[in-house]
């Protein structure tokens, strides 16, 4: 068992990482939060795989598992879904002391977090992430969101859960490609923050990917600990937290431009990290060979190991990475590697990131 | 000029109280918040009275006043209005650094605050309250809200503004009855927290009500300072902040039961305060004569000076004040006076507050 404490003053909370812990969520809610009612928000598919274990654990402490269903994936992240959850919570008599439990992937966590943060001006929230990506990424940081027709995550709040329960056993039912999205984020935090962890991944990647219990728990724990440390130092993304965007400038552009349609978030970020490492190396910001080590690890993880081919669509990519769409030469914060395990943000104009005529 | 600092760690903010300050809102936004764009959310009626002054002040610092209109009163406080504001903000290219300005009464402040707290995970918020009630009450505490068909303020957040600008001059256009709602809250904070201020009100009430500049500014400043002190000690209503509910247990019940249909919030709270003072006195918790002094001041303010006649509708009132509608004998925190200027919360079951057969 590992417990990582996210240090955010009076909004601090623990992240407990333990195989089989799904069955203990109920006990934690009853004992640690002193709650009498818990509403589990999940999808039909996740409910089928995991709700029985959660419900049994709740029954043990005489908590009724009251279940609210939302659709799979991004389709759950709408104001309409949030509004329906408000209705159901009120219909069932939810109160300020009732707990909302998000059981599912990142999308479920986002919308449950949004509802928890806005229902009765905030009710206690427990996150039980069931994808590797949600376990190592969304579980830390307190970002909640729903989408708007104009873009993803445009409506949302910063709202910290009271507790996060991570059970690595749930990953067994996750498709390999979705697991790789989580691996991409694990490689990312190692690359920006922890050279020892990066070297550990070089030795243990295959065991982690085969879900061998001990190395898997170790990888999740280290990744969560790094993100918790960064977020604890910078809750609202004023500075240091920007390092977590390593690979995401181009990664988001890939997702927006759509030239790699069907790429997962992890695949897009992997390409973005290769791009950022190459840029760092070509500018002499990190030792030669840095990019090659990163590429080798990504390739072993079954992730893309090449930068995106943006040249043919340079204008679309420039637009996608520009902070202010009208001011093309305004610099943006771009995360570069100084070495494996250390990153920094430098100011670059979009045209410096994607220079003309370098195809 | 008075500036009250609301002390909430990294969410601290100033409340500036000055006659004529409406014209300086733009300067504060440009200089203190460093913002390039400000969206003023207001109602058609408030816009007609005050938007010109705000716009002129913004023009002076080269800020375009971009105006978004919402309906008057509680009708503005819906998820639908919030959703429409998101759409308009996105259509106009609002960004994380754009400022939302709430220009209006409490309802405008509630919905603008909700939108500011949830748009792009929170953008800077400036409140410019234009009713006495909003100036002395809603301006401090960071409560935001929209209503739900099942009840008022069921959806909302805690979100602190970056700045509050109070211009007492705007009250000249406010109907006398609406001003009295603010007076009720001023009397309330004096009664629970500050015996000297209560005595000052006994000497100066008529001047305040005639909007004589100096005593009016003084009354607003003292009321805001008290609320800021209480909120600073207890941001999320865990303890001390409950004292601000003095008169509100019965006040809210009066509004819910509807037996005084047409009563303003201030009138309902006045009746609730008389009730609570009578209960305090009859239980020997405060000196004899406490209720009479409170009643005398409320009467001079043109506010109700009698407790509500709840006996004929006891069941409805009991339901309205019960925290858990199903558990009738569960105690709730009820605010009693220990003397004028000092209050405390005691635990009372609804049936102890409204005992049988005492008509």
pLDDT, mean of each 10-residue run, chain A (359 residues): 90 94 93 91 96 94 92 95 96 92 97 98 97 94 93 94 96 94 97 98 97 97 96 79 94 88 92 98 97 98 94 92 65 95 95 83
For residue A181 the two structure tokens come to 């999205």
Quick one: closest CA in B to A79, which residue? B83
Q: Which residues of A are catalytic?
A: 121, 143, 185, 227, 237, 241, 245, 248, 252, 265
Q: Which of A39, A303, A94 is nearest to A187 (CA)?
A: A303
ipTM associated with this complex = 0.90
In angstroms, rounded to a whole number, what is the distance separating the alpha carbons of residues B352 and B345? 14
Higher-scoring residue by pLDDT: B161, B256: B161
Beta strands in chain B (DSSP E): 2-6, 13-17, 38-42, 65-69, 99-104, 125-129, 143-148, 151-158, 163-166, 332-339, 342-348
For residue A59 the two structure tokens come to 């029954």
Q: Which of B108, B70, B74, B72 is nearest to B87 (CA)?
A: B70
- The residues facing A102 across adjacent strands are A41, A127
- Report the Cα B44 to chain-centroid distance in Å: 21
A155: chain B residues, CB-CB within 8 Å? 86, 118-119
- Residue in A90, A118, A156 nearest the CB of B156: A118
Interacting residues of A199 by C-beta distance below 8 A, sequence separation 6+: none
Helix segments in chain A, DSSP class H: 25-31, 44-46, 52-60, 79-91, 106-118, 132-133, 176-193, 195-209, 213-233, 248-257, 265-282, 290-300, 314-321, 350-353
Is residue B126 helix, strand or coil?
A: strand
Given this model, what pLDDT does residue B256 score? 87
**Model confidence at B260, in pLDDT bands (50, 70, 90)?**
confident
Q: How far is CA A265 from CA A133, A323, B33, B322, in A?
A: 9, 20, 35, 49
Residue of A11, A155, A159, A239 for testing the chain B interface, max B β-carbons within 10 Å: A155
Q: Which residues of A make CB contacts under 8 Å with B?
A: 9, 79, 83, 86-87, 90, 93, 95, 114, 117-122, 143-145, 148, 150-151, 153-158, 236, 324-325
**Model confidence at B272, in pLDDT bands (50, 70, 90)?**
very high
Please check the confidence at residue B213 and state whether its pLDDT lies above 60. yes
- Report the Cα A224 to chain-centroid distance in Å: 10
Q: Does B143 contact A120 at a Cβ distance shorter than 8 Å?
A: no
For residue A262 the two structure tokens come to 């069907």
Stretch B147-152: mean pLDDT, rounded?
Answer: 89
A95: chain B residues, CB-CB within 8 Å? 323-324
**Model confidence at B279, in pLDDT bands (50, 70, 90)?**
very high
**Shortest CA gap A17–chain B (Å):** 28
Given this model, what pLDDT does residue B182 score? 96
Is residue A59 helix, strand or coil?
A: helix
Which string of DSSP letters, residue by residue, matches B267-307? HHHHHHHHHHHHHHHHTTSS-TTHHHHHHHHHHHTT---S-
By the 8 A CB rule, do B126 and B25 touch? yes
Q: In this structure, are strands B99-104 and B38-42 parallel, antiparallel, or unpaired? A: parallel
Given this model, what pLDDT does residue A325 score? 53
Count of beta carbons in the 10 Å neighbourhood of residue A11:
14
**Shortest CA gap B252–chain A (Å):** 16
What would the pLDDT profile of B177-197 be if each residue is shown by its tens digit?
999 999 999 999 999 999 999
Please check the confidence at residue B229 and state whether its pLDDT lies above 70. yes
**Model confidence at B10, in pLDDT bands (50, 70, 90)?**
confident
In angstroms, rounded to a whole number, what is the distance separating the alpha carbons of residues A26 and A165? 11
Whose tokens are 């100036």? That residue is B135
Please check the confidence at residue B50 and state whether its pLDDT lies above 60. yes
Task: Look up the pTM and report it.
Answer: 0.92
Q: Does B118 contact A155 at a Cβ distance shorter than 8 Å?
A: yes
Q: Does B148 contact A86 at a Cβ distance shorter than 8 Å?
A: yes
Whose tokens are 């000092």? That residue is B342
For residue B48 the two structure tokens come to 């007609």
Q: How far is CA B49 from CA A144, A304, B53, B271, B285, in A?
A: 38, 60, 9, 32, 47
- Report the Cα A51 to chain-centroid distance in Å: 22
Q: Does A145 contact B90 at a Cβ distance shorter than 8 Å?
A: no
Interacting residues of B203 by C-beta distance below 8 A, sequence separation 6+: none
In angstroms, rounded to a whole number, what is the distance separating the alpha carbons of residues B79 and B247? 29
Q: What Rg value do the Cα atoms of chain B yield, rounded?
A: 20
Beta strands in A86-174 (DSSP E): 99-104, 125-129, 146-148, 151-155, 163-166
- Residue in A9, A156, A236 nearest the CB of B118: A156
**Model confidence at B66, in pLDDT bands (50, 70, 90)?**
very high
Interacting residues of B38 by C-beta distance below 8 A, sequence separation 6+: B26, B29, B58, B63, B64, B65, B66, B98, B99, B100, B101, B126
What would the pLDDT profile of A339-350 be if each residue is shown by its tens digit?
999 999 999 999
Please check the confidence at residue B335 and state whether its pLDDT lies above 80. yes
**Shortest CA gap A156–chain B (Å):** 4
Tell me the angle at which helices A79-91 and A106-118 cross, rounded to the nearest 10 degrees.
Answer: 60
- Residue in B90, B93, B156 nearest the CB of A148: B90
- Residue in A150, A153, A324 nearest the CB of B90: A150
Given this model, what pLDDT does residue B325 score? 53
Please check the confidence at residue B159 and state whether its pLDDT lies above 70. yes
């Amino acid at each position: 068992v590992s417990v990582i404490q996210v240090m955010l003053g009076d909004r601090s909370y623990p992240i407990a990482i333990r195989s089989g812990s799904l069955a203990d969520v109920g006990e934690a809610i009853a004992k640690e939060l002193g709650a009498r009612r818990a509403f589990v928000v999940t999808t039909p598919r996740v409910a089928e795989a995991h709700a029985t274990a959660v419900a049994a654990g709740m029954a043990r402490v005489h908590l009724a598992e009251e279940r609210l269903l939302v659709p799979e994936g991004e389709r759950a992240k709408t104001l309409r879904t949030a509004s329906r959850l408000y209705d159901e919570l009120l219909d069932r008599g939810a109160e300020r002391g009732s707990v909302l439990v998000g059981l599912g992937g990142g999308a479920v966590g986002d919308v449950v977090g949004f509802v928890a943060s806005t229902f009765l001006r905030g009710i206690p929230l427990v996150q039980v992430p069931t994808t590797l990506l949600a376990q190592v990424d969304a579980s830390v940081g307190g970002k909640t969101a729903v989408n708007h027709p104009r873009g993803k995550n445009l409506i949302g709040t910063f709202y910290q859960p009271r507790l996060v329960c991570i059970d690595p056993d749930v990953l067994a039912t996750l498709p390999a490609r979705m697991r790789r999205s989580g691996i991409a984020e694990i490689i990312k935090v190692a690359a920006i923050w922890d050279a020892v962890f990066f070297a550990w991944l070089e030795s243990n990647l295959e065991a982690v990917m085969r879900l061998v219990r001990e190395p898997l728990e170790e990888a999740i724990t280290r990744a969560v600990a790094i993100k918790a440390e960064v977020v604890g130092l910078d809750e609202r993304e004023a500075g240091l937290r920007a390092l977590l965007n390593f690979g995401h400038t181009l990664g988001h552009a890939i997702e927006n431009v759509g030239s790699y349609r069907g790429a997962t978030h992890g695949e897009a970020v992997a390409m973005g990290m290769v791009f950022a490492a190459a840029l760092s190396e070509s500018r002499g910001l990190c030792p030669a060979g840095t990019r090659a080590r990163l590429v080798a690890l990504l390739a072993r993880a079954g992730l893309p190991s090449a930068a995106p081919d943006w040249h043919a669509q340079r204008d679309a990519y420039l637009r996608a990475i520009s902070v202010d769409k009208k001011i093309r030469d305004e610099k943006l914060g771009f995360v570069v590697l100084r070495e494996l395990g250390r990153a920094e943000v430098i100011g670059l104009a979009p045209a410096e990131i994607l220079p003309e005529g370098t195809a």
